[in-house]
Chains A and B, each alone.
Chain A
């Protein structure tokens, strides 16, 4: 059976230069990120070029994705959160396209590497801290002191709130990473069973129908997970930004 981990290998195409003794290389990861960005740009620029009153098929995709993210931002972070709409929309489309492109056989899923998801999550986390302190000053720390709590358990609750705030970038990044990693490994393990059974001859072909059907079903499930995880990543970004805008509970 082929190694199910093999799909996550980083392949270096060419070297761009060196920074402080570290090699900066153009890899397949960078290539697929560029493909995702090019795909998003082509879709949105191509769809909005005509700007017809009755949208065509392509234009309604662009309008629906805009409306979907805008509704999410408005309902979770309020109208003031709309100043972060370009940020949330970029993150949502980037993660969505990377997850969907990763489902194509023989392609590479960038979000199966924690360094990518951790960078995105840290970007959100630092944005929340910097914007929250800039907008609210020291009253940003009211985030950790919920109102209406009896004074004798307040220190405990505050400690828990601080812990949960600090663990946010970990759970935010590992959720996307672990879901994509586990899904792709499962898919490749079941696909490996088809080849394994197919080597047994005619009886194996009959048996291989089962893992084949399961692989098709798993691909459909992975499609759902890819879209759902992009949505979860975006909505958690909105909820964290809401804490920066309205820190009082």
Chain B
């Protein structure tokens, strides 16, 4: 196979991993919203935890994006 084509296909496959991060981020915000509607007074205190969980989950999607970017532009 042509190496350039293989890189492009590899970058596309690497991006599938971002779907998992999408599921994770959606779960985090969905559960936060559900919990916030049950107990709105406690919601504000958990905002920092929400953002931290979001950031840590998003990092995994970003790693797969990083692999895709490395394949396309750096390697």
The interface of chain A, by Cβ under 8 A from chain B, is: 72, 75-76, 167, 170-171, 174-175, 178, 231-232, 235-236, 239
Contacts and interface: CB of A to CB of B under 8 A. Distances in A.
A174 B51 contact: no
Contacts of A239: 52
B55 A236 contact: yes
Nearest to A231: B51
B32 to A, nearest CB: 14
Given A175-B58, A175-B59, A236 B52 contact: yes
A166 to B, nearest CB: 13
A171 B51 contact: no
A183 B51 CA distance: 19
B40 to A, nearest CB: 19
Nearest to A233: B55
Contacts of B65: 174, 178
Interface in B30-75: 48, 51-52, 54-55, 58-59, 62-63, 65-66, 69
Q: Shortest 9 CB-CB distances between A and B: which pairs?
A: A171-B59, A232-B55, A174-B62, A175-B62, A174-B66, A178-B62, A178-B65, A235-B51, A236-B55
A72 B49 CA distance: 11
A235 B50 CA distance: 11
B55 A75 contact: no
A232 B51 contact: yes
Contacts of A170: 63, 66
A239 B37 CA distance: 27
A72 B59 contact: no
B44 to A, nearest CB: 11
Contacts of B55: 175, 232, 235-236
Contacts of A76: 48
A235 B48 contact: yes
